[in-house]
Amino acid sequence: MRVWFLSAGLALMCMAQNAAAGTVLIVGDSISAGFGLDTRVGWVSLLEQRLKREGFDDTVFNASISGDTSAGGQARLPALLAEHKPELVILELGGNDGLRGMPPTQLQQNLASMIDSSRASGAKVLLLGMQLPANYGKRYTDAFAEVYSNLATEKNIPLVPFFLDGVGGHPDLMQADGIHPAAGAQDKLLENVWPTLKPLL
C-alpha cells in the first residue's frame, strides 16, 4: 500500500509539472532571429538552455523574422496565438520601424494591438524596449523610446526598458554592420531580459 501511495504521489507531481509547463512565444526581428549568427548561440537558444538548467519545463517558440516591423508582427500574431496557445508572449519589435523613420504613433498602435490580442488569448506579455542612435535626432529618438514606457504604463505590463543595454554602442559586442549584436553579446541580452522574464513563468 505504501508503495502505491508513493507511486501515486510521484505521478501527481509529474502531472502538476506538466500542467505548469507552458509555451513562451517570442515575436521579434533580426535580434531575436539571430541574424548573422549560428542560432544555437543566439539569446533565444541561451534562454532555452537556462530554462532547462533552472528546472522550467516551458517550451520556447521563436517566431522572430529578420527585417520584421511592428506591422508585420501584428499581421502574423493571430495565427501564432491560435497555433501555439502561449502562456507568455515576448514582443521584441520596433527597431526596424525606427530605422525606417516610421511614426512612433503607428508603432505604439501596432504594439498595443499585439498586447491586447495576446491578453485576449490568455497570455501574459513582456515588452522589450528599444532605443535609436542619437543621429536620428533627439525629438524622434525621445518619441520612439517613450512608446515602450507609455505602453508599459497604459497596459500595465512588464517592460525591459532597453533590450540592448550594455550592448548597443559597444563595437566589440556588435557585428561589422554596427546594427546587430555579435555572438559575444548574446549572454548580455539574456541577462537584460531574465530578471523580468523569470517571475512571469
pLDDT in tens, 49-94: 999 999 999 999 999 999 999 999 999 999 999 999 999 999 999 9
Question: What's the pLDDT at 20?
Answer: 54
Gap between the Cα atoms of 116 and 78, Å rounded: 11
Residues catalogued as catalytic: 30, 177, 180
Q: Which three cell numbers stand for residue 167?
A: 550592448
Residue 192 has pLDDT above 80, yes or no: yes
Higher-pLDDT residue of 9, 50? 50
User: Is 90 exceeded by the pLDDT of residue 14?
Assistant: no
In the prediction, which pLDDT does 108 show? 98
Say if CB 149 and CB 161 are below 8 A apart: yes
Percent of the chain with pLDDT over 90: 89
When pLDDT is averaged across residues 36-60 and rounded to a whole number, the result is: 97
Write down the pLDDT at residue 21.
75
- The contacts of residue 29 (CB under 8 Å, 6+ apart) are 64, 65, 66, 67, 68, 69, 92, 93, 95, 96
Write the pLDDT tens digit of every residue in 103-123: 999 999 999 999 999 999 999
